């Protein structure tokens, strides 16, 4: 593609982004101001985008069209689907339960689980929500955030000892630990990843504390491998 073609695409993308930030639409003049492009250029770009149903005409100018929504839906990542093989690999390598959760509304919501093969095992229900401060998955997600945002979420759930908690977030391997602080008798290790959408997901392994010393090495190794593989799948 030559330089002119690249410039046209960049200008069209600028118009689409400006309309993204104005759901009710913008006039051609407002689009020109928002993008820094001449009004005549904006008019030509909008006309071309209308032909492709990427933009719809309004009384004032234009707004995003239905084809944009279709493209967005097609591009949306199925993170649980991508994560599932890695959950299975960790479960096979450790014999322990493996959970996938996502940060929603300041809580870690469980999306998927592979039960362990041990008779004594930890199991949480899909859809259940856990706090951030005392869980391995919550702490792993907090470690991805700027300190101010992490502190705000912790204070919202009543955690006040930020200085003490901050040193218990993810370690050098990107793993965070819960040493029976959320559920007595259950210890856990987990990591978190950011999807391209900005959503924070965590993979964690809860283990009965009676077996923790024996299982911890294998759990750590399996999670480190899964973290690298899932990050690669997500392009992180």
Residue 57, classed as helix, strand or coil, is: strand
Total-model pTM? 0.68
Residue ranges for the chain with pLDDT beneath 50 = none
Return residue ranges of the chain for CATH 1.10.10.10: 3-75
Q: Catalogue the long-range contacts made by 25-28 (C-beta closer than 8 Å, 24 or more residues apart).
A: 25/58, 25/60, 25/61, 25/62, 25/63, 26/60, 26/61, 26/62, 26/63, 27/60, 27/61, 28/61, 28/62
The CATH classification number of 3-75 equals 1.10.10.10
**pLDDT of 123:** 81
- The predicted pLDDT at position 74 comes to 64
Strand-pair category, 98-104 with 129-130: unpaired
Output the pLDDT for position 73: 67
Distance CA 175, CA 224 (A): 8
Every domain of the chain with CATH number 3.30.450.40 lies at 79-234
Fold of 79-234: Beta-Lactamase (3.30.450)
Given this model, what pLDDT does residue 168 score? 62
């Amino acid at each position: 593609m030559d330089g002119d073609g690249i410039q046209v695409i960049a200008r069209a993308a600028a118009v689409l982004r400006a309309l993204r930030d104005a759901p009710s639409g913008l006039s051609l003049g407002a689009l020109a101001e928002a993008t820094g492009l001449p009004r005549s250029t904006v008019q030509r770009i909008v006309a071309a985008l209308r032909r492709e149903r990427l933009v719809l005409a309004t009384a004032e100018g234009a707004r995003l069209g239905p084809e944009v929504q279709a493209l967005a839906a097609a591009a949306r990542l199925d993170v649980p689907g991508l994560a599932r093989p890695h959950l299975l690999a960790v479960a096979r390598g450790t014999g322990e339960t493996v959970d996938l959760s996502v940060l929603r509304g300041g809580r870690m919501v469980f999306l998927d689980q592979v039960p362990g093969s041990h008779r004594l095992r930890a199991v949480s229900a899909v859809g259940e929500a856990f706090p951030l401060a005392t869980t391995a998955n919550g702490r792993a997600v907090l470690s991805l955030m700027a300190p101010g945002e992490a502190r705000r979420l912790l204070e919202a759930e009543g955690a006040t000892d930020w200085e003490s908690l901050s040193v218990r977030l993810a370690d050098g391997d990107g793993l965070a630990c819960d040493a029976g602080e959320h559920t007595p008798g259950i210890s856990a290790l987990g990591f978190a990843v950011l999807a391209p959408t900005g959503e924070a997901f965590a993979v964690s392994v809860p283990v009965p504390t009676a077996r923790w010393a024996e299982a911890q090495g294998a759990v750590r190794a399996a999670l480190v491998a899964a973290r690298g593989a899932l990050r690669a799948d997500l392009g992180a």
